[in-house]
Amino acid sequence: MKRIAWILLLAPLLITACAPNNVREEKSWEKYFTQHKVEGCFMLFDNSKGLFKVYNLERAKERFLPASTFKIFNSLVGLETGAIKDTGMVIKWDGITRSVPEWNQDLSMREAFRVSAVPYYQEVARRIGKPTMQKWLDSVKYGNMKISSIDTFWLDNSLKISPDEELGFVKQLYFDQLPFHKITMQWVRSVMLMEKTDKYELSYKTGWGIAGPKEIGWVTGWVEENGRPTFFVLNFESEDPDIEMRNVRMSILKGILQEEGYFEGMK
C-alpha cells in the first residue's frame, strides 16, 4: 500500500498517463550503475503502451539540483519572454577563457544548448530577470521553485527537482501541455534533438552538478520510434571527482535503452 500511495503522488506523469498497476520495478538495471560505481535511478515511460518502469523508486522521489537539464526550462522562458529571439540568436563571448573550449566563442542558442554552455544561459537568465523567472517557475511548478542568485540558482543547490518531476516535465513539453506558446515548445524540442536516424530519434538534455562531495549526473528526454515516444530520466551520483561523467551518462542511458529494444525501429 505504501508503494501504491507513493506512485499516486507522481503527478503530473502518472495521473494523466498510467495507473499504479502499470508500474514495474526493474531491479535488473542495477548492473549498469554497479558497472560504473555510481548510485542512481532510471525511469522509463512507454507512452503508447502506458508502461512505466523504474529502477530505485526511493531515489526517484528525491530532489537534486537540475544542473544543465535546467537549460530546457531556461530556453522555454527565454523564448517566451523574448530574452531569446529565436534558436539562432547569438550572444557574444565575454572574452573570459573557461575550461570547456566550445564555450569560448560567440554562440547561437542552438549551439549553446548542444555544448551546454553555462555562460550563455547565465546571460539569458539575467536578461529574463528574477521576478519573471520566479513567475514561470511557480506557473510550471518546477521542482521546489527556489531562486537564489538569478545566474546560479540551478547550479548552487537552491533549485531542486526530482527525477519523477523531470520526467513529468519533459512529457508535458512533448505534448504541448506546458503554459508556453506552441512555437516556443516546438523550438525547444528542436534543439533537444541530438540523434536522428531512419530508425529512431533521440532527444535529451544532460546535466552535471556538484552537491557537497557528490558529482550529480542527469539525462532527461525521450526516444521516438515510428512516431511513438518513450520518456526517460537518468539520475546518479558519485564521490569520484575524476568520474568521466559524459561517458558514464551515455553508457548507462544507451545500455538500458538497447536492453529494452530501442534504436532498432521496432517500437
* Catalytic residue IDs: 68
In the chain, the amino acid numbered 206 is: T
What is the pairing mode between strands 51-55 and 193-196?
Answer: unpaired
Quickly list DSSP for 214-247.
Answer: EEEEEEEEEEEETTEEEEEEEEEEES-TT--HHH
CB of 71 closer than 8 Å to CB of 205: yes
- Determine the straight-line distance between the first and last CA of the chain, rounded to whole angstroms: 32
**Residue whose C-alpha is closest to residue 228's, from 261, 253, 181, 256:** 261
In the chain, the amino acid numbered 109 is: M
CB of 66 closer than 8 Å to CB of 233: no
The grid coordinates listed for 213 are 562531495
- Length, in residues, of the chain: 267
